Structure 1
Amino acid sequence: MSDGHGPPPETPSGWSAEQPPPYSAPPASPWTAPGAQQQAPYGQPYGQPPQQQQPLGPGPQTPYPPHPHPQPGYGYGPPPSALRPGIIPLRPLRLGDILDGTIKLIRSNPKAVLGLSAVAALLAAVPLAVGQAFLLNSMGDVMSDPGSADSASAGLDSVYGVIGQYGGTLVSYAVQFVVVTLLTGVLTRILGRAVFGGKLDAAEAWQLVKGRVPALFGVVGLMAVIMIVPLIVFALLMVALAMNASSGSLGWLAGLTILFIVMYLAYCLFFRTRFAFASPAVVLEGRGPIDAMRRSWHLVTGDFWRVFGILLLTSLLVGLVAGVLSVPFTIAGTLFGMFGAGSAATTVVSAVLIAIGATLAAMLTYPFEAGVAGLLYADRRMRSEAFDLVLQTAAIEQQRQGWVHESADELWHPSNSARS
């Protein structure tokens, strides 16, 4: 039958497409790919032509019978999503996965992560805030009445202020050395469990980490030596040159100092990147300090610039956000200290405001940098050791038998690597 648009097309055998021969296939299903042959339905009598489609009448009708198994379309579909029992997908990570996983680490366990970070930040910020408050208070006395201030007492106040400032800074660095080292270990252990969706409170994490504390301090101590030795050598060299230099060579010494600062900055960034995974190796793999630093060096090899870029970007982002949080409190504390009446109440208020600003900034900086370093460590193991296969196999087994999150702690051992 023609629909009024010309004669029906002819098939290669001469039969009309509208009336198929007894041995031909029925009309192609709308799900069939162009050019593909569709076999005759099973059970159709030999030689019987296929049933013609009835014209559509009033009421709901189905023009084509339902196709139970439609064929997929052409091309490649999206790959199946990776298993994600916890904060990250169990596959090599992109930058977005690392940042998103770090945020999920904080959000999934805020009491342990932010609580411990706040305590560590407060312990490190209080000595520095007290020293700055005393310095600003001594400056405020001179600024409030410079004409009547006795020069000797003013000078003595300034000396006390400088001592308080530098003394507070040194104490703050010492406290920071201890608490940040412990905090990094605890947060890394929490992260290791969070990859599989498990949670740890502060007490449980500390019980798992306390045996690794000496090795953690060993790593931090070795890093401090690596960073301080060039400074000592350069200081001794500059003292020797200054003692033997004439007045005309001061410009040459200034240029040498600028060159050293640039080279020292590159030196610090290089070793900070190379040893970024030492703490995760100590906590999650149970390695000693030197072995952990060797392990970090090996993991970074082959992907140095990517690791360096992600760590640098993280530092810039966290520093920007931390600055936004801390600057208002720091400015308010500075104004109280400099333009107040110089009383004890003003000093206390100034110290409290500065401490609040420093605590808010560090409370965000500590967990975010530790989280990024830990997830980068996991990513490097996935890429260089096929560690994602180990994690996926364990995840499937855990789903089959029921989740036992404590078993995820053993997966990080270096023996559990597909290429070990």
Structure 2
Amino acid sequence: MSDTSGWGPQPGTHGWHQHHNPHGWYPNPWGPPPPPPPKPGVIPLAPLGVDQILGGAFATMRRYAKPLFGPALAAYAVLAVVMVAAFGIAYATTRDDVDALGAQATFSWEHGGPILIAFGSLWALGALGALAVNSFVQATCAATLHEAVLGRPTTFRAVCRRAWSRTPAVAAVTLLLAFVLMLPVGAFALFLFSFVAMLLTQSLIPIGLVFLLLLVVIPLAAWLYVLFAFAPAAAVLETAGPLTALRRSVRLVRGAWWRTFGISLLAGVIVTIASLVFQLPLQFTAPEPRPADPNTSASTVLLDQLRSQSGLYALVGLLGTLLTQLIAAVFLPLVTALLYIDRRIRTEGLAHTLHTAA
């Protein structure tokens, strides 16, 4: 059986579970209680509740830690090495311009232009690298979940091979989702700009219009984001192209938008709480910088503050931040992919196909 067997669209099976009951796990008021649904992997092969979706994500992280976190760690490590090397090259090529610009009282395009070009290119490289890495990590989550649902073992190499082949499709979908998220960000930036304009002109019209724009854009962005949320999972589990994956997501989310939104929001809240549980104790135990002397230069004060944040405290804080970011990067796509599987179980009878495959 191929890796993709049983995961493509199931034509003619819409509402299958509502008319057939081959395993007897749906309620039967006239007989003995039905047996539990089969559970070859991390979730039962039946419509999933919130506890089963979240529990399935945690179980996948626990049982498949190596093929799940290994590729993510490797991808982020490669991105970090590339960005550090690119930063070193950018600084080395513009060092003389940086020194010359720092010695001038006013900005000069003669020295500022090369700096902007070099570090603008660095930012573009970082954005493309982040897109590729995040898309690859999302693909590894779906590829690992493919085996976790069926209860089959998998390896680091197998997950990487399958995820890499689907990364371009996931990246195309991620670009669209990033554009959707940029709508409220851009509207908020416009709101701040209009607020400054109001302070300067004493006019309430600009900020009032932008506030109305925010009220429209934020719900629209949330609606679109949830509507396309299943596209990365469809791109991997169904080997669908970007446009096909987007259409599949819209079809599956239809009729379950609020449920998808609520469970995704709950997963985000869990990640936020876990991050705060780690970061708040560090905030309270942060070492105090030495009192600043009024006669001390600003650069010396800044250096003292950096030194006070270095050492073991900085190492623990950095490792903790990386760990929480890694968990978030894996946990949220797993929850979304499980929601995708749940919708297919409910609307396409995927449970029977998965039970046969397992």
Q: Tell me which interval the TM-score lies in, with the shorter structure as reference length.
A: 0.5 to 0.7
- What does residue range 172-187 of structure 1 map to in structure 2 within 5 Å? 175-187=129-141
What is the letter of the counterpart of residue 342 of structure 1?
Answer: L
Deviations 1:129-173 (A, max 9, x none): xx9xxxxxxxxxxxxxxxxxxxx99x99xxxxxx9xx99998876
Aligned residue in 2 for 1:225: 179
Counterpart of 2:201 (choices 241, 247, 269) is: 247
How far off its partner does 1:240 sit?
A: 9.7
Indicate yes or no: 2:177 matched with 1:196. Answer: no
Gaps of 5+ in 2: 1-28, 88-101, 107-115, 293-300
Give the match for residue 112 of structure 1.
67
Query: 2: CA distance between counterparts of 1:360 and 1:394?
Result: 35
Match of residue 273 from structure 2: 320
Cα deviation 1:87-146 (Å, max 9, x = unaligned): 011111111111111111011112232344445567789989xx9xxxxxxxxxxxxxxx
Counting helix residues as a fraction of each chain, which structure ranks higher? Answer: 2
Matched, 1:342 2:303: yes
2:348 is aligned with 1:393: no
Give deviations 1:240-266, integer Å, cap 9, x for gaps.
9998998231x3333334443343332
Give distance in 2, aligned partners of 1:337 and 1:184: 44
Residue aligning to 1:381: 344
Match of 2:21 in 1: none
Deviates more, 1:185-194 or 1:347-356: 347-356
| Mapped partners of 1:291, 1:269: distance in 2 | 21
Letter of the aligned partner of 1:277 in structure 2?
Answer: F
Task: Report what 1:86 is aligned to.
Answer: 41
Match of 1:282 among 210, 235, 245: 235
Higher mean Cα deviation, 230-239 or 88-97? 230-239
1:197-240 Cα shifts (integer Å, max 9, x gaps): 11222221011122212111111112223333576588689979
Given the superposition, is the C-alpha separation of residues 76 and 337 from structure 1 closer, same or farther in structure 2, using an over 3 Å criterion? Answer: farther
Structure 1 unmatched runs, 5+: 1-73, 132-151, 157-162, 396-420
Measured in 2, the distance between the counterparts of 1:120 and 1:319 equals 23
AA in 2 matched with 1:104: A
Letter aligned with residue 49 of structure 2: R
Structure 1 counterpart of 2:160: 206
Deviation (angstroms), 1:316? 0.9
Say if 2:222 is the partner of 1:261: no
Distance 1:121 1:324 in 2: 24
AA aligned opposite 1:306: R
Residues 275 and 297, structure 1, Cα contact 8 Å, conserved in 2: yes
Structure 1 or 2, whichever has the larger Rg, is: 1
| Mean Cα deviation higher: 265-274 or 89-98 | 265-274
Larger RCO (CA under 8 A, 6+ residues apart): 2
Give the alignment's Cα RMSD to 1 decimal.
4.2
Q: 1:281-328: per-residue Cα shift (whole Å, max 9, x none)?
A: 111111111111111011100111111111111111121112212333
Deviates more, 1:333-342 or 1:262-271: 333-342
8 A contact 1:112–1:202 mirrored in 2: yes
Q: Equivalents in 1 of 2:283, 2:75: separation in Å?
A: 19
Say whether the 8 Å CA contact 1:330–1:357 is kept in structure 2: no
> TM-score, normalising length from structure 1?
0.58
Query: What is the deviation of 1:378?
Result: 0.6
When structure 1 is superposed on structure 2, of 366-375 and 251-260 the one drifting more is: 251-260
Residues 330 and 354 in structure 1, CA contact (< 8 A), matched pair in contact too: no
